[in-house]
């Protein structure tokens, strides 16, 4: 049986030394193709099957990596994962890579284990996308068709109704992405609360580049909650952080008025969706808090019942012991009368005194049992929370 073919990687870099180094380091695990620039990379792709992954240098003379990636996305390698390689690591550079269609970003100089891990992750994601591609395309087409029949306000109303059935953060995110698709929008989202935190895009878990963008947004002050992010728009509502690509908040004066108005309405509608989602997150968090409180109360009721039962047993033993002691005292006193030489009246007085104190002590113990009974009633009332 033939061994499976090695994945094909296309390495694009204007440095011959880098191309030689990458081929030497990666050729044991991958089939390596190299190109000294963006134009040559496009020629390779046009003349053969697209590679499984592309390692693309950002800074190259002539056609840089970002322009090359944009052209790749309109070529036969539209679905091929692209990992940018760059000595620049600022958020602006990462945004350029994201806008150009990149899937991940590795800063130079890099550690080879890190690079291989990112390559393997992107290859795995790409394989999953291929398996789900047909189903996703059918679902997207169905949603896009429905968007033509339902108005923008209808999308918000449908979303609010769908929220009622959401039982976790992932369900809320799924409903948001469904609404975004009906508005022809795409991006990534982070939902965080008492149940933890999730970061997703419209298809799966966020890419490393998307995570870095969400981290950057989370580190910013929450006001204003909606702000431009280059040609994109970000939403930070505390429990929900959202990044939508190609939704310009700042629009040039010469933009088509109808298109500019549509972008403005889209931002307003997305804000309504996110506010509704935040309310649902708070409701789920409150339900979780109530469940935790109920569990605590139930545990305390159980422990108190055990303690009360122990107190009741001890009180009963104490009452029996006190009564036994008084009875023994009375008997000893009666037996000693013959030796004390007391008059009958004195003996009766002494016996009566002992009996009166015994009665008083037993009544005091009985009051303790009344308190115990009342505590038992309170515990039973609390137990109705179970």
Q: Quick one: which of 235, 269, 263 has its CA closest to 249?
A: 263
For residue 75, the model assigns a pLDDT of 83
CB neighbour list of residue 146: distance below 8 Å, 6 or more residues apart: 182
3-state secondary structure 18-32: HHHHHHHHHCCCCEE
**Whole-angstrom distance, CA of residue 29 vs CA of residue 186:** 34
Contacts by residues 45-50 (CB-CB < 8 Å, ≥ 24 positions apart) = 45/10, 45/72, 45/75, 45/76, 45/77, 46/75, 46/76, 49/8, 50/75, 50/76, 50/77, 50/79, 50/80
Query: Is residue 101 left, alpha or beta, with left meaning phi > 0 and alpha meaning psi from -120 to 50?
Result: left
For residue 93, the model assigns a pLDDT of 84
Burial 150-178 (b: 16+ CB within 10 A, else e): eeeeebbebbbebbeebeebeebbebbbb
CB neighbour list of residue 224: distance below 8 Å, 6 or more residues apart: none
For residue 148, the model assigns a pLDDT of 43
- For domain 8-128, the CATH architecture is 3-Layer(aba) Sandwich (3.40)
For residue 199, the model assigns a pLDDT of 95
Q: Quick one: which of 138, 182, 172, 359 has its CA closest to 281?
A: 172
CB 309: neighbour CB atoms within 10 A? 12
At 196, is the secondary structure helix, strand, or coil? Answer: strand
Please, are residues 80 and 51 in contact by the beta-carbon 8 Å criterion?
Answer: yes
Please, are residues 9 and 53 in contact by the beta-carbon 8 Å criterion?
Answer: yes
Please, are residues 208 and 89 in contact by the beta-carbon 8 Å criterion?
Answer: no
CA distance readout (Å), 172 to 59, 103, 135, 163: 40, 25, 21, 7
Token digits for 165?
Answer: 């059935």
Please, are residues 172 and 280 in contact by the beta-carbon 8 Å criterion?
Answer: yes
Cis omega before residue 224 (within 30°)?
yes
For residue 86, the model assigns a pLDDT of 85
Sequential DSSP letters for 37-87: SHHHHHHHHHHSPPPSEEEEES--SSS-HHHHHHHHTTTTTTTS-EEEEES
Side by side, the strands of the sheet bearing 104-107 are 31-35, 8-12, 53-57, 82-86, 104-107
For residue 30, the model assigns a pLDDT of 94
CB 47: neighbour CB atoms within 10 A? 8
The length of the chain in residues reads 386
CB 364: neighbour CB atoms within 10 A? 10
Q: What's the CATH class of domain 150-286?
A: alpha beta
**Whole-angstrom distance, CA of residue 119 vs CA of residue 358:** 88
pLDDT tens digits in sequence order for the chain, 386 residues long: 566 789 999 999 999 999 999 999 999 999 999 999 999 999 998 888 889 999 999 989 989 999 999 998 888 788 899 999 888 778 888 888 888 888 998 888 888 889 999 999 999 988 887 777 666 556 555 544 444 445 677 888 899 899 889 999 999 999 999 999 998 999 999 999 998 999 999 888 999 999 999 999 999 887 899 999 889 999 999 999 999 999 998 888 888 988 888 899 999 999 999 999 999 999 998 888 777 655 555 566 566 667 666 666 776 777 777 777 767 776 777 777 677 667 777 767 777 777 777 777 777 767 766 766 776 676 666 666 55
Q: What is the CA radius of gyration of the chain?
A: 38
Map out the domains of the chain as residue ranges.
8-128, 150-286, 289-383
């Amino acid at each position: 049986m033939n061994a499976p073919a090695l994945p094909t990687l296309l390495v694009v870099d204007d440095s011959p030394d880098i191309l030689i180094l990458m081929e030497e380091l990666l050729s044991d695990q991958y089939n390596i193709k190299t190109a000294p620039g963006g134009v040559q990379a496009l020629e390779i792709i046009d003349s053969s099957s697209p590679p499984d992954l592309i390692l693309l240098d950002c800074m190259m003379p002539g056609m840089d990596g970002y322009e090359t990636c944009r052209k790749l996305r309109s070529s036969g390698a539209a679905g091929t994962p692209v990992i940018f390689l760059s000595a620049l690591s600022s958020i602006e550079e990462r945004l350029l890579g994201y806008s150009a269609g990149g899937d991940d970003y590795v800063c130079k100089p890099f550690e080879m284990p890190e690079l291989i891990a990112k390559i393997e992750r992107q290859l795995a994601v790409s394989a999953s996308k291929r398996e789900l591609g047909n189903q996703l395309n059918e679902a997207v087409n169905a949603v896009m068709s429905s968007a033509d029949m339902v108005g923008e306000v209808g999308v918000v109303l449908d979303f609010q109704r769908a929220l009622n059935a959401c039982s976790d953060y992932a369900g809320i995110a799924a409903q948001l992405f469904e609404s975004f698709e009906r508005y022809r929008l795409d991006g990534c989202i982070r939902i965080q609360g008492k149940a933890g935190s999730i970061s997703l895009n419209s298809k799966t878990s966020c890419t490393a580049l998307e995570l870095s963008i969400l981290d950057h947004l989370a580190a910013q002050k929450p006001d204003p909650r909606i702000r431009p992010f280059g040609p994109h728009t970000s939403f930070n509502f505390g429990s929900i952080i959202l990044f939508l690509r190609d939704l310009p908040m700042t629009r040039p004066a010469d933009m088509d008025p109808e298109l500019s108005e549509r972008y403005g309405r889209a931002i307003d509608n997305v804000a309504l969706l996110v506010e509704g989602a935040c309310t649902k997150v708070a409701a789920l968090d409150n339900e979780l808090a109530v469940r935790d409180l109920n569990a605590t109360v139930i545990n305390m009721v159980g422990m108190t019942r055990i303690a009360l039962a122990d107190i009741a047993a001890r009180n009963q033993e104490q009452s029996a012991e006190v009564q036994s002691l008084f009875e023994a005292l009375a008997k000893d006193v009666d037996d000693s009368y013959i030796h004390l030489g007391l008059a009958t009246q004195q003996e009766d007085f002494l016996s009566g005194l002992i009996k009166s104190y015994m009665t008083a002590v037993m009544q005091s113990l009985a009051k303790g049992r009344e308190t115990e009974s009342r505590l038992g009633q309170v515990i039973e009332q609390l137990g109705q929370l179970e």
